[in-house]
Amino acid sequence: MRSRPERRASDAAERRSLRGPSMLIKGDILKRIERGEVTLAFRRWRRPTVKAGGSLNTAVGVLTIENVERINVREISDTAAHQAGFSGRKALLKDLGTRDGDVFRITLAYAGENPRIKLREDNQLADAELAEVCQRLRRLDAASKVGEWTHDVLVAIRKHPRLPAADLDRFDGDE
């Protein structure tokens, strides 16, 4: 049997694999996207982690991914760097770094408030809805390679309701 830390790490990896597309965006840039001041992002990836037509749930709300295009780094202008929230091309290139991967230009826009906020506020479930949630949780546990984990996560959420989901990995139901 695996140790608790090994089990938690494996559980966390499994939960992360269930998440949708992701792209890390700094908080100050997110606020500028929300205000319409930033409309581009540049990333160095081996393969894109987002696609055109998709969306991202972020701390400020939902972002729409309008376009994802592989480009040559020489195509990045000062104007494009400003549209990505940088002081200029040199600052953007420093941020991109030199690791392996192609450079992608991502066109994005603020699409509105995160719909999860309203869902979070609606905590009254009808009997049928509660039964469906319980059934889905049992299915997740049954399909898990590491055994039952959903109960521990729900206990951690109840004990730490304001803790970001990514930080719940360090807690278990026995704390």
Is the confidence at residue 175, as pLDDT, over 80? no
Q: Helix, strand or coil for residue 16?
A: helix
Query: For residue 42, what are the β-bridge partners?
Result: 105
- Flag whether pLDDT at 20 surpasses 70: no
User: In b/e form, how buried is each residue of 14-45, taking b as 16+ CB within 10 angstroms?
Assistant: ebeeeeeeebebeeebbebbbeeebbbbbbeb
Q: Report the residue count for the chain.
A: 175
Q: Report domain extents, the chain.
A: 4-18+117-170, 27-112
Mean pLDDT of 2-13: 44
Q: Which of 22-31, 104-113, 117-126 has the highest mean pLDDT?
A: 104-113
Residue 19 DSSP one-character state: S
Predicted confidence band of residue 7 (pLDDT cuts 50, 70, 90) = very low
pLDDT, tens digit (0-9, with 9 covering 90-100), for 56-104: 988 889 999 999 999 999 999 999 999 999 999 999 999 999 889 999 9
Identify the CA nearest to 107 among candidates 45, 57, 63, 76.
63
Model pLDDT, residue 112 = 93
Pair of tokens at residue 152: 């521990």
pLDDT grade for 172, boundaries at 50, 70 and 90? low
Identify the CA nearest to 92 among candidates 111, 107, 105.
105
> pLDDT tens across 122-166, in order?
778 889 989 999 999 999 999 999 889 899 888 888 888 878 877
- The token duo for 108 is 């994005």
The predicted model scores a pTM of: 0.61
Pull the structure tokens for residue 136: 């889905």
Q: What is the mean pLDDT of residues 17-33?
A: 75
CA distances from 42 to 28, 38, 59, 131 (A): 16, 12, 19, 44
Report the C-alpha dihedral over residues 27, 169, 159, 154, rounded to 10 degrees.
Answer: 110
pLDDT of residue 4 exceeding 60, the answer is no
